[in-house]
Amino acid sequence: MSLRLSTVILPYRRWSEGGRSAWVRAEQLGFHTAYTYDHLSWRSFRDGPWFGAVPTLTAAAGVTERLRLGTLVTSPNFRHPVTLAKELISLDDISGGRITLGIGAGGTGFDATTLLHSGQEQWSPRERADRFAEFVPLLDRLLTEDAVTYEGRFYSAHEARNIPGCVQRPRLPFAVAATGPRGLKLAARHGQAWVTTGDPKLYENGTPEQSVEALRGQIAKLSEACADAGRDAADLDKVLLTGFTPDRARPLRSLDAFVDFAGRHQELGFTEIVIHWPIPDSDFAADEKVFEQIAMETTAQLA
């Protein structure tokens, strides 16, 4: 399968001050999908502007025609399946069926603490995994059934109506972010794609070669999870969100460097690579001319 190149546009700019133009330009450059982060705020951007993912994607749908749009990633940290399903069905309709939901278990950042009551502890890794294991199947049902009633440990739905459903049938695709066994099981059962950022333990002191081997191991575990679910792992797209491996921003320094990086990961089985839209004075700083050259020429060189 040929490699697809996508981008992620962080929602830190006002729509009238560069927000709109980035999404329009992403379509002009030929990206397969333009994603955005679905957070309440994120890392070093916490004390600056940060806008909501669903309104941003709705606005992006109105200024683009072919570009797929999505989240990388939505999580249960501040979302409920019932309300999220309604927003996703609306967004899929507005976009004409161009939405992909990137979804993950969530982490320990601001999303995980903003809604806590005083004295309430953060969810443990086990509880995040438990919630994710309930969240994804319920969301699947909500997006494919006209009416859903469900009573779970964490989430409930009482005759939740979702008519007319998604434009995409049977529902919009899920891109499930996971590296652990429970998350990989969810990807195998419910995902149309699987997402990884690599092995976080290698980010600080690992090497690109070690990262490649770690990713190879993750894909092998995904294949095992798919086999257990009676599914061919080749049916899932495999998405690498870059910027969190030991390579960091080095692949974006030149077209040749990126083609080499992308080729090595294509050989592992990745079908889509996602690069961050350049943000000056941040971890995602990059030369915009080189970025655009990469966007326009990489896939042809790897065909």
Strand partners, 240: 196, 273
pLDDT digits (tens, 9 = 90+) for 19-39: 999 999 999 999 999 999 999
What the block records as the tokens of 194 is 């699987």
> Which residue do the tokens 């083609």 mark?
259
What the block records as the tokens of 301 is 């060189």
pLDDT digits (tens, 9 = 90+) for 179-215: 999 999 999 999 999 999 999 999 999 999 999 999 9
Dist CA 251 CA 148 (whole Å) = 46
Q: Which domains does the chain have, with CATH numbers?
A: 4-302 (3.20.20.30)
Residue 246 identity: P
Instruction: Say which residues have a Cβ less than 8 Å from residue 185's Cβ, sequence separation at least 6.
Output: 225, 228, 229
Cis peptide before 164 (omega within 30 of 0): yes
User: Contact at 8 Å (CB) between 255 and 298?
Assistant: yes
Q: What percentage of residues in the chain have a pLDDT greater than 70?
A: 100
